Amino acid sequence: MTTPMTSGPPLVAAAHGSRDPAAAAVTEALLAEVRRQRPGLEVVASYLDHAEPRLAEALARLPRPAVVVPLLLGAAYHAGVDIPAAIAEAGGTARQAAVLGPDPLLLDALERRLAEAGVVARDPSTAVVLAAAGSTDPAAVAGVRALAREWAGRGWWSVQAAFASAAEPTVQAAVAGLRARGSERVAVAPYLLFPGLFADQVAAAGGDVTSGVLGAAPEVARLVLARYDARRGDLR
């Protein structure tokens, strides 16, 4: 469903950035889906590292204040430090929206990606590893685990949170553990927005099936717009 809108502050999406050029391409694809869902809205890409334009630069180019939507799944260092610093560098007039995760819409997007990989949604014979990047922030890790518990209630054999770095269990250990418990099939669902190093690590973790990153899933675009809408009124 699209919602026509030709006014309102610009939406500046702040992605982490990656040395992998595929990540920038997927960022642009996601923002194209955001524009499709909200015709007329000015949507600008920016990055915190490894790619251009950087967030402060993108904000400085705009003639009016914007809403910054972090393309991040957890509220850790980048959301708490890097983005506020970039907003301050650009004059401090932008408003920062909440990060995207955790949110039930992301579970819908994860199930979409699993279905694309051939996994029937909510198959009671399939165990799922919710494979996140990982963080040293306990709250971010707890958010992933809470999302896994919520997802487990949708009918899967089991859902196990796991991490590519900085937290336990590893994705490989989670796959092995679910097999040891008797799961017929273990599907790995990357809880990642973009391709890159972590996505490559997750793909090599040994699941029977590994789905694609969340990327430009329509549910992710809806969530970006929901985060934007929650802050846009502050700039009227």
Q: What are 165-184's pLDDT values in tens digits?
A: 999 999 999 999 999 999 99
Answer yes or no: are the C-beta atoms of 34 and 90 closer than 8 Å: no
- In this structure, the answer to whether residues 56 and 124 fall within a common structural domain is no
Interatomic CA distance for residues 186 and 206, integer angstroms: 9
- In this structure, the answer to whether residues 129 and 41 fall within a common structural domain is no
Q: Which domain holds residue 118?
A: 104-210
- In this structure, the answer to whether residues 124 and 88 fall within a common structural domain is no
**pLDDT tens-digit profile of 108-155?**
999 999 999 999 989 999 999 999 999 999 999 999 999 999 999 999
- In this structure, the answer to whether residues 67 and 123 fall within a common structural domain is no
Is residue 31 one of the residues assigned to a domain? Answer: yes
Is residue 1 one of the residues assigned to a domain? Answer: no
Neighbours of 181 (CB within 10 A): 12
Is residue 148 one of the residues assigned to a domain? Answer: yes
**1 against 78, higher pLDDT:** 78
- In this structure, the answer to whether residues 153 and 205 fall within a common structural domain is yes
Is residue 180 one of the residues assigned to a domain? Answer: yes
Would you state the pLDDT for residue 74?
Answer: 87
Is residue 4 one of the residues assigned to a domain? Answer: no
- For the cut 60, the answer to whether the pLDDT of residue 191 exceeds it is yes
Would you state the pLDDT for residue 71?
Answer: 97
Is residue 157 one of the residues assigned to a domain? Answer: yes
% residues pLDDT > 90 (the chain)? 89
Is residue 137 one of the residues assigned to a domain? Answer: yes
% residues pLDDT > 70 (the chain)? 97
Is residue 151 one of the residues assigned to a domain? Answer: yes
| Structure token pair of residue 26 | 């997927």
CATH classification of the domain holding 72: 3.40.50.1400
Would you state the pLDDT for residue 10?
Answer: 98
- In this structure, the answer to whether residues 226 and 132 fall within a common structural domain is no
- In this structure, the answer to whether residues 110 and 94 fall within a common structural domain is no
- In this structure, the answer to whether residues 202 and 109 fall within a common structural domain is yes
What is the number of domains present in the chain?
2
- In this structure, the answer to whether residues 88 and 183 fall within a common structural domain is no
- In this structure, the answer to whether residues 173 and 114 fall within a common structural domain is yes
Would you state the pLDDT for residue 4?
Answer: 47
- In this structure, the answer to whether residues 179 and 112 fall within a common structural domain is yes
- In this structure, the answer to whether residues 87 and 109 fall within a common structural domain is no
